Homo-oligomer: A and B are copies of this chain.
Amino acid sequence: MSIQHAPEDLALLDPTEAGACAQAALVSEPIDETAAAGLAQVFKALGDPVRLRLVSLIGARDGGEVCVCDLTSAFDLSQPTISHHLKVLREAGLIDSERRGTWVYYRLVPSALERMAGVLSVPVSSRPSGPG
């Protein structure tokens, strides 16, 4: 975030460049409460249809950046509501923003998404070999 926002909390404190197929997975070993709380915040941010579409709209954009006005016009929701959802995504570390003149542009944080993808990946060793 590069605007007037305070650092807030930021759920992803270790945005390493872990690939999408890394084995730092949820199912490798039981996670502790602290890790669960941090990951849950990000998943909760993704657990809303509007926010999911916002992430998709931003990520699918060619230049990687989308103006807030374009995002607001894509929904039948008020501008403050969209702003609220963007804040949730920003506090989860999933998106970043930059002000240029009057407009504010949002972009994805790919490492954050990939980290979550890595968390969900299931190592072959953890997959049940038979149907039962």
**Chain A 4-39 against B: per-residue CB contact (8 Å), 1 yes, 0 no?**
000000000000000011000111111101001101
> For chain A, which range describes its interface: under 10, 10 to 19, 20 to 34, or 35 or more residues?
35 or more
Asked if A120 is at the interface of the complex by the 8 Å CB criterion, the answer is yes
Q: Which residue of B lies closest to A94 (CB)?
A: B120
Q: Do B21 and A37 touch across chains, with their CB atoms under 8 A apart?
A: no
Q: Which residue of B lies closest to A52 (CB)?
A: B36
Q: How many copies does the complex hold?
A: 2
Interfacial chain B residues near A98, Cβ < 8 Å: 132
Q: Which residue of B lies closest to A32 (CB)?
A: B53
A48-85 contacts to B (CB < 8 Å) = 48-53, 55-60, 64
Binding site for B on A (CB under 8 A): 20-21, 25-31, 33, 36-37, 39-41, 43-53, 55-60, 64, 98, 107-108, 110, 113-114, 116-122, 126-128, 132
Q: Which residue of B lies closest to A129 (CB)?
A: B64
User: A107 and B128 in contact (CB under 8 A), knowing A31-B56, A49-B36, A52-B26?
Assistant: yes
Beyond A26-B59, A27-B108, A117-B120, 17 extra complex contacts between A and B, CB < 8 Å: A26-B56, A27-B56, A27-B58, A27-B59, A33-B49, A36-B49, A39-B46, A40-B52, A47-B47, A59-B122, A108-B126, A110-B127, A113-B121, A113-B122, A114-B122, A116-B120, A117-B122
